[in-house]
Chain A
Amino acid sequence: MLGMLVLIARRLGQSALVLLVMSLLVFVGVFAIGDPLAILVSPDATPEEIARSARELGLQQPLWQQYLLFLQQALQGNLGRSFAHGEPAMALILERLPATLELAISATVIAIVLGIPLGLWAGLRPRSLSGQSIMAGSILGFSLPTFWVGLMLIMLFSVWLGWLPASGRGPVQSVLGLPLSLGSSEGWRHLLLPALNLALFKLALIIRLVRAGCIEALRQDYVRFARAKGLHPRRIIGVHVLKNLLLPLITVIGLEFGSVIAFSIVTETIFAWPGMGKLLIDSINVLDRPVIVAYLCIIVLLFTLINLLVDLLYVLLDPRLRPSTATPQRAGT
């Protein structure tokens, strides 16, 4: 138990270090290379407002003090006001975070629910027609740009078949205090296409991973021993093989969650999904820089948090990494 605490503490320390480095990078980008007044103060601001902002940002102070001030402000969530919306940039982003998370989590769930069975199927019959077709599909899923697939989905399901709406989020309902689409069938209909679009790359990845892992595991002695024990194939695949696949799978799914959020920028733009990715693109188009900086800070924080969680989860799940009081002992004496 103590070993676990030490481990958690060490990982937390590492994450804090990464955050510090990234904050320094953002600071250098905004304050040292760029002109912070041009970046963080609206171009329409009056001279008095500019002067006040310069004071608030501590621009007359040495750089290291400016950095400390920036850090302090960032920690309080104060990263300037959006030029376009007039609201604090951070609040604007956080407001859209639930929509993005809902999309990203739905996509991840779709990728897992479809990817594991398809990957297992292809891994159990690598030479069969079905196995090779799944693999070919996965290669396509890897190489096709997300936006292209999104367009095809809209064309097929919205324009030609008319089954699903092409844009927007539909009605949201408050679930546990968060506004979510999952509460209504109309919400589901709106969520399905963008989630599928976002899921595709991860789906291809999971299929490939599960297939390779399955083929690898089937060659192992423990599978042969499990067969020699007379276990049913269902149990061998479902327990012996799958449990060994779970660790790398969870790592990849976890680590990839960050990139799902990043790629939701594209999907949200195509499907007009009101998340923070679409906000970023809109902000870039109107040069609303405080929002861009705030998005950057949030995404760095998210990535670091995800890495930390995956690390800890991995330790929890892999008995070989778990710090243990029991040490190997010799038998028979």
Chain B
Amino acid sequence: MNAPLLQVEQLDCVVRQAGVLTGDADLAVLQQLDFSLQRGRILGLVGESGCGKSMTGNAILGLLEPPARIVRGRILFDGVDLLQQDEAALRGLRGDRIAMVFQDPMMTLNPVLRIDTQMIEAIQAHHPLPRKQALARAATALAQLGLHDPQQRLREYPHQLSGGMRQRVAIAIALLNQPALLIADEPTTALDVTTQRQIVQQVQALCREQGSALIWISHDLALVSSLADEICVMYAGRIVERGPVQAVLQQPRHPYTRGLIDAAPAGHVPGQPLPQIPGNVPLPPPLSQAGRGCAFAPRCGYASARCGETEPAPPEQAVSATHRATHPATHHATHRATQRVRCHHPLVYSADGATEAITP
């Protein structure tokens, strides 16, 4: 069994909030984050807005800026702890081995620099390639993402491109150096559905082709299910459930995952009101109050007194060894890819997989 490409271990992250009267306080925004990703695999990171998905992506790349900072944990990339690296070493990795694209394609590209400038600099920051060859590589990358007439596109400024084209350019830039890991932070959220589909397919195909692993951050379960091998469901800065995408989507074990799936419009009976998870994602608690009970308990239909008192432990043991056998899509999954849940009362399913019950 290979060592995973990326291994995030017990990552805690805080944001310092300045208080006029109360003094500064650290808010716990990521708590005991723990997941791993094998080479060439695709991980979907899902959850409502404000649950820490983007922060996770930025943390891996070392792009967290004050007032946010990492207080504990390890991020092993290819066996090296990124948190122990200095800025120069991280800079060498960024854009070369680990790349990232962001949500808003209108803001990602520098408005006053031509596309070719922005692409060539991304190559030359890591490889001493002559301009001509760099240009050729840039044109190829643009063509791979389905942009017509790449030579013309290279000479244009961002404002001359549509939102979809800009996001393609941004993704092409991220993939220029064939990174081992691409982190995509909701890159298609701002785009229309057709463009979104195309881009998702192209990125998926390109990553498979280049052997790049991919972390796709999204709040859209349906999108992630069509793309990812594995899925991590985040809630309030924690991973509450993770596992092979089929297993998690068909038999979610965390009540929150269940709620997300039920709230998705796809496959719902028309005319029926869409089920909702009551309430909103809570604001990150001060560090001193973190860990008092399950963060989801106030919105959870299954919550017991215990849920309000102690926080469920991060899942360490495989919940169901049978999933690997029952779901063909996960046949090559390692032990890392088994379904795990962070809940006092995980949902369980009867043998036919249809009914559900709650553990006592």
Contacts and interface: CB of A to CB of B under 8 A. Distances in A.
Asked if chains A and B are in direct contact (CB within 8 A), the reply is yes
Given A231-B125, A243-B113, A332-B146, A224 B63 contact: yes
Interface in B174-224: 174, 195, 198
B92 A230 contact: yes
Contacts of B164: 330-332
Interface string B62-96: 01000000000000000000000000000111111
Contacts of B104: 221
Interface in A301-333: 318-320, 324, 326-332
Contact of B112 (A229, A247, A330): A247
Given A230-B96, A331-B168, A243 B173 contact: no
A320 B102 contact: no
Contacts of B61: 228
| Most chain B CB neighbours (cut-off 10 Å) among A225, A227, A235, A331 | A331
Size class of the B contact interface (CB-based, 8 Å): 35 or more
Interface in A219-244: 220-222, 224-232, 235, 239-240, 243-244
B141 interface: no
A326 B170 contact: no
B55 interface: no
Given A222-B110, A230-B93, A230-B94, A331 B165 contact: yes
A128 B122 CA distance: 31
A326 B156 contact: yes
Nearest to A218: B65
| Most chain B CB neighbours (cut-off 10 Å) among A225, A320, A324 | A225
B63 A229 contact: no
A220 B61 CA distance: 17
A159 B268 CA distance: 87
A331 B100 contact: no
A320 B157 contact: yes
A229 B121 contact: yes
A328 B161 contact: yes
A321 to B, nearest CB: 10
Interface residues of A, number: 30
A331 B94 contact: no
B179 to A, nearest CB: 10
B108 interface: yes
A240 B113 CA distance: 8
Interface string B100-128: 11101001111111100000011001100
B159 interface: yes
Contact of A232 (B99, B125, B198): B125
| Most chain B CB neighbours (cut-off 10 Å) among A247, A318, A327, A328 | A328
A135 B122 CA distance: 34
| Most chain B CB neighbours (cut-off 10 Å) among A228, A235, A319 | A228
A228 B94 contact: yes
A225 B162 contact: no
B326 interface: no
Contact of B160 (A226, A232, A324, A332): A324
B147 interface: yes
A231 B126 CA distance: 9
A220 B107 contact: yes
Interface in B141-161: 146-148, 152, 156-157, 159-161
Contact of A227 (B94, B152, B157): B94
A230 B174 CA distance: 10
Given A230-B126, A232-B125, A222 B111 contact: yes
Contacts of B156: 326
B125 A230 contact: yes
A272 B173 CA distance: 59
Contact of A330 (B63, B160, B162): B162
A229 B94 contact: yes
Contacts of B198: 332
Nearest to A329: B162
Interface in B301-349: none
Given A324-B160, A331-B146, A222 B108 contact: yes
Contacts of A247: 112
Contacts of B121: 229, 231, 235, 239
B170 A225 contact: yes
Contacts of B159: 319-320, 328
Contacts of B99: 228-229
B110 A229 contact: no
Contacts of B126: 230
Interface string A241-273: 001101100000000000000000000000000
A279 to B, nearest CB: 42
A226 B110 contact: yes
| Most chain A CB neighbours (cut-off 10 Å) among B109, B112, B152 | B112
B94 A225 contact: no
| Most chain B CB neighbours (cut-off 10 Å) among A224, A230, A318, A320 | A230
A10 B351 CA distance: 79
A229 B157 contact: no
Contacts of A330: 162, 164-165
A220 B108 CA distance: 8
Contacts of B165: 328-331
Contacts of A243: 110, 112-113
B125 A221 contact: no
Interface in B248-273: none
Contact of A320 (B63, B111, B173, B195): B111
Contacts of A246: 112
Interface of A: 220-222, 224-232, 235, 239-240, 243-244, 246-247, 318-320, 324, 326-332
23 contacts: A220-B107, A221-B108, A222-B111, A224-B63, A225-B100, A225-B109, A226-B110, A228-B174, A230-B91, A230-B96, A231-B125, A239-B113, A243-B113, A246-B112, A247-B112, A329-B161, A330-B162, A331-B147, A331-B148, A331-B162, A331-B168, A332-B147, A332-B168
Interface of B: 61, 63, 91-96, 99-102, 104, 107-114, 121-122, 125-126, 146-148, 152, 156-157, 159-162, 164-165, 168, 170, 173-174, 195, 198
4 residue pairs, one from A and one from B, having the closest CB atoms? A230-B95, A230-B94, A221-B107, A229-B95
